[in-house]
Amino acid sequence: MGRYALSRLRASDSELEPVTEVNIIPVIDISLVLLVILFVTAPLLSYPNLPIELPKARGQEDQGRAVHVTLTAEGRLAVGSRDADWERLGALLGEELGKGAKTPVVLRVDRSVPYSSVERLIAAAKGAGAGSVSLGTEPPR
């Protein structure tokens, strides 16, 4: 036992110096985990959680930046992820469309909604300066 203590006292100075280097591996691990969480949750934030049944599509899905307007069977409205009502619809659409010239508007309307409501949405989108108005559908399977 005495030999061990004696050897520790005689240890070289390099063994007793504090570690001054930063171990970056845990930082990278945490960053990658946060990045994966971001990628998993980002699609969940793009549309409001309003339950609607979209009609079936026959063509190809258009991939591009668009303003999404959602109208449920119960009459609830949303522009993007923000709740709206018929009085504020034009103003909210104007704010969203003001971010890009000729931005298309996609109407995500439940299939049981009367066509007169769809006409009102189209008129509001055109009045707010939409480049084009299209109807959202479920992609073909």
pLDDT tens digits for 69-124?
A: 888 888 889 888 888 888 888 888 888 887 666 788 888 888 888 888 889 998 88
Which residues of the chain are in CATH 3.30.420.270 domains?
47-135
Q: Which long-range contacts (CB under 8 A, 24 or more apart) does 76-79 make?
A: 76/50, 78/48, 78/50
Q: Which of 2, 141, 134, 138 is nearest to 68 (CA)?
A: 134
The pTM for the full model equals 0.56
DSSP, collapsed to helix, strand or coil, labels residue 119 as helix
Name the band, by pLDDT with cuts 50, 70 and 90, for residue 29.
very high
Correct CATH for 47-135 of 3.90.480.20, 3.40.50.300, 3.30.420.270, 3.40.640.10: 3.30.420.270
Average pLDDT over residues 37-57: 75
Runs of H (alpha helix) within 24-74: 25-41
